[in-house]
Amino acid sequence: MEHVFETHAHYDDEWFEEDRDALLVQFPGQGIEKVVNIAASLASIPTTIALAEQYDYIYAAVGVHPSETKELTEENFSLVREMAQHPKAVAVGEIGLDYYWDETERSVQKYWFERQIELARELKKPLVIHSRDAAKDTMDMMKALHTEEIGGVIHCFSNSVEMAKEYVNMGFYIGVGGVVTFKNARVLKEVVQAIPLERIVLETDSPYLAPVPYRGKRNCSLYLPYVVTAISELKQVSEEEVVQVTNKNAHQLYRLEGEWLN
């Protein structure tokens, strides 16, 4: 496969410590055209930007994951704002609400979710949304804050068909990864069938959520063809069409339109 656009990975993770560069240099030759590396904590913002500076096909999303928001202060948030203006920072994320890991108070998560949404609005960059066990609160906040004016992606989508359609109506893309290859992922398969291919983007969330047959192992973008195959079967279109359409979607999502299929 060629022209695969990986919209969500964490290659600065320590799991890649030993072979990071050896892995990343293979991507252009293996059909991975572009990668957006997603920051998730204060510490991962500079490491994400460093990867984007080192590789021309890697871009950065700058933001703080809901479970890490307890480390944010006014002072370090001004650094986040600064780093989010890096020329290769294409989005604000991953940000949102996570009630699965209850280590950060919900009120703290909500406060910094709103602040980071407002940062994206100010910088005119799309949102990379993380929502886990917090579907209603995430949607309520996104509606109240008029995020349909900002746009972005709901990463690793794991909610109902109805909610997927609602996000699509708000102009958001739906991130689909390795989970779609799992036998028990009935609802996600229904989501993929229910929404237009024009609203789906490919992601791995590497090093997590490897597709079958690598389930449970370290994930990487080279496994995206398994996700492409699963989507092509669910949508009854060719793998080539899945790659081409999701590539175009990802360029529009991250506002790299001028570079589509260059």
Q: Which residues bind Ni ion (CB under 5 A)?
A: 205
**Two structure tokens written together for 83:** 């780093």
Closest distance to Ni ion from the beta carbon of 37 (Å): 10
Which residue number places its CB atom closest to Ni ion?
A: 205
Q: Considering the complex, what minimum distance in angstroms separates the CB of residue 34 from Ni ion?
A: 17
Residue among 75 and 103 whose Cβ is closer to Ni ion = 103
Task: Say if residue 166 is exposed, middle or buried (CB neighbours under 10 Å; 0-12, 13-18, 19+).
Answer: middle
Tokens in use for 193?
A: 């069938």
CB-nearer residue toward Ni ion: 12 or 205? 205
The token pair that represents 211 in the structure block: 């597709």
Please say which residue, 68 or 73, places its beta carbon nearer to Ni ion. 68
- Shortest distance (Å) from residue 258 CB to Ni ion: 27
In the bound state with Ni ion, the residue whose beta carbon lies nearer, of 98 and 205, is 205
Nearest distance in Å: CB 238, Ni ion: 29
Minimum distance between the CB of residue 13 and Ni ion, rounded to whole angstroms?
10
Residue 6 or 205: the one with the smaller Cβ distance to Ni ion is 205
Cβ-in-10-Å burial (0-12, 13-18, 19+) of 75 comes to: exposed
Count the alpha carbons within 13 Å of 195 in the hemisphere toward its beta carbon: 30
Least separation in angstroms between CB 11 and Ni ion: 11
Choice between 4 and 128, CB closer to Ni ion: 128
What single string gives the DSSP state of each residue in 63-131?
---GGGGGG--HHHHHHHHHHTTSTTEEEEEEEEEE-SSTTS-HHHHHHHHHHHHHHHHHHT--EEEEE
CA distance 201 to 34: 12
Answer for the pair 187, 163: CB distance below 8 angstroms, yes or no: no
